């Protein structure tokens, strides 16, 4: 039973949710100070919190990069036609939430740093909810949600690289560039062993961390250089082998640790202004209203303009329910929040409130909408009827 649970698709979302709840409970218990002291413990010059957010999350971004590469080369996003609907939906789902957050926080330059927080979708939670609903929705809707979330992740990566980068050190950046050239050369020479790539990737992480770019970008860059072909066939390609080896570690260790380290809100220290302030309100409204308007609206326009068609077997109700699930922005939204407000801890706490509120409402609303789309059961046979 337990083994089947950990092999099931929603399992990682359940574990991530449990880790976040544990963090909230502990932060509001007599052990709250111990929780915060643990996260600030220094290890090799960095706090435990930094090691989780900058170190372990680089492995998460490595997995995201591997998935993006596979989907673009040989998966659901392998052709330009297959990218139209999720691409348009992802763009709408990033722009509208950002506009809502900006409108709510207009006039406060410090708050506007968080404009990108509600633009991200948490693929683990969204797919977890969709899978728990069982056969209510067609499989094509799951494909749409996966494709949309992958493009959404790619957009979030670009946002982090372009807008949440500190002062650059060109020496370290140049050193990182040399390592990237080495990785590309190994790919071109057909090196199939993962060890050289991972060793070079560790050096790349150090260079990018020291350069001023966010260190997690090293994971994405490394992923794009891992070979997607193998003499033994694509099923044995390094990109697939590496994804298979780190997938469970990311789902059941790294993401839960991230949730545990970033979801701990001390409610005793919250003021009414912090709970109902512009930052949490902008994040929550951006996730709940912005995502559904951006995603659903973009798909509706694309279909009405004959640029695309609805997923096979899906109805507009299904699409709307999936659009609501896109408002679950837990992992990536919290991550961007820590980057946007790294020097203002009270705004990080406010971000957490908005992310949790917006994600929870989106999950509940999406579940209700999709459940109501369940076909009516067939009437029972009357007594005496013959088959």
- Give the C-alpha separation, 307 to 373, whole Å: 25
CATH 1.20.1530.10 for the 12-30+45-165+214-372 domain, yes or no: yes
To which residue do tokens 């390094």 refer? 238
Q: What does the alpha-carbon distance between residue 140 and residue 161 come to, in Å, rounded to a whole number? A: 32
Domain positions in the chain are: 12-30+45-165+214-372
The b-or-e profile of 219-247 (16+ CB within 10 A means b, else e) is bbbbbbbbbbbbeeeeeebbbbbbbeebe
Cβ neighbours around 122 below 10 Å, total: 29
Q: Which of 276, 364, 65 is nearest to 57 (CA)?
A: 65
* pLDDT computed for residue 182 by the predictor: 96
Q: Kindly state the tokens that stand for 48.
A: 């435990």
Residues 6+ apart with CB under 8 A from 376: none
Whether residue 77 contacts residue 151, with contact meaning beta carbons closer than 8 Å, is answered with yes
Distance CA 116, CA 102 (A): 9
Report how far residue 357's alpha carbon sits from residue 325's, in angstroms, rounded to the nearest whole number: 13
User: In 28-117, which residue ranges form alpha helices assigned H by DSSP?
Assistant: 32-39, 48-50, 57-74, 80-104
Q: Which residues contact 127 (CB under 8 A, 6 or more apart)?
A: 9, 10, 13, 142, 145, 146, 149
Rounded Cα distance between 50 and 112, Å, is: 24
Residue-level pLDDT at 379: 53
Q: E-assigned strands of the chain?
A: 42-43, 46-47
Give pLDDT, residue 387.
40
Token couple for 71: 């989907």
In the chain, which residues have pLDDT < 50? 1-7, 377, 383-384, 386-387
CB 12 within 8 A of CB 255: yes
Q: Is 190 helix (H, G, I), strand (E, B) or coil?
A: coil
Q: What is the pLDDT of residues 313-336, one digit of tens each?
A: 788 998 999 999 999 988 888 889
The pLDDT of residue 4: 47
d(CA 332, CA 350): 16
pLDDT at position 248 is: 87
Exposed/middle/buried for residue 13 (C-beta within 10 Å: 0-12, 13-18, 19+): buried
Q: Quick check: 251 and 11 in contact, CB under 8 A?
A: yes
């Amino acid at each position: 039973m337990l083994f089947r649970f950990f092999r099931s698709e929603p399992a990682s979302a359940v574990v991530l949710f449990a880790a976040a709840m544990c963090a909230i409970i502990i932060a509001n218990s007599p052990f709250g100070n111990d929780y915060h002291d643990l996260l600030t413990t220094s290890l090799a010059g960095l706090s435990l919190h930094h090691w989780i957010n900058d170190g372990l999350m680089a492995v998460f971004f490595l997995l995201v990069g591997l998935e993006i590469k596979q989907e673009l080369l040989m998966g659901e996003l392998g052709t330009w036609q297959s990218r139209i609907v999720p691409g348009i939906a992802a763009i709408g789902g990033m722009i509208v939430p950002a506009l809502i957050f900006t409108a709510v926080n207009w006039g406060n330059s410090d708050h506007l740093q968080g404009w990108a927080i509600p633009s991200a979708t948490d693929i683990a939670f969204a797919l977890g909810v969709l899978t728990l609903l069982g056969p209510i929705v067609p499989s094509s809707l799951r494909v749409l949600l996966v494709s949309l979330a992958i493009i959404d992740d790619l957009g979030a990566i670009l946002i982090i690289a372009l807008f949440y980068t500190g002062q650059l050190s060109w020496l370290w950046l140049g050193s990182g560039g040399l390592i990237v050239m080495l990785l590309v050369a190994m790919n071109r020479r057909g090196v199939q062993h993962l060890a050289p790539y991972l060793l070079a990737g560790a050096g790349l992480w150090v260079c990018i961390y020291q350069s001023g770019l966010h260190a997690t970008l090293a994971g994405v860059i490394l992923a794009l250089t891992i070979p997607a072909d193998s003499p033994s066939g694509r099923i044995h390609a390094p990109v697939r082998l590496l994804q298979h080896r780190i997938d469970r570690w990311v789902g059941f260790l790294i993401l839960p640790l991230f949730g545990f380290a970033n979801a701990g809100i001390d409610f005793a220290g919250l003021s009414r202004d912090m709970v109902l302030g512009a930052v949490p309100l902008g994040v929550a409204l951006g996730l709940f209203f912005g995502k559904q308007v951006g995603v659903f609206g973009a798909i509706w326009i694309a279909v009405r303009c004959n640029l695309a068609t609805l997923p096979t077997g899906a109805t507009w109700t299904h699409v709307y329910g999936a659009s609501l699930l896109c408002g679950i922005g837990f992992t990536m939204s919290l991550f961007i929040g820590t980057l946007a407000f790294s020097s203002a801890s009270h705004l990080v706490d406010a971000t957490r409130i908005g992310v949790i509120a917006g994600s929870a409402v989106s999950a509940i609303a999406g579940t209700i909408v999709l459940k109501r789309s369940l076909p009516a059961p067939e009437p029972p046979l009357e007594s005496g009827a013959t088959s």
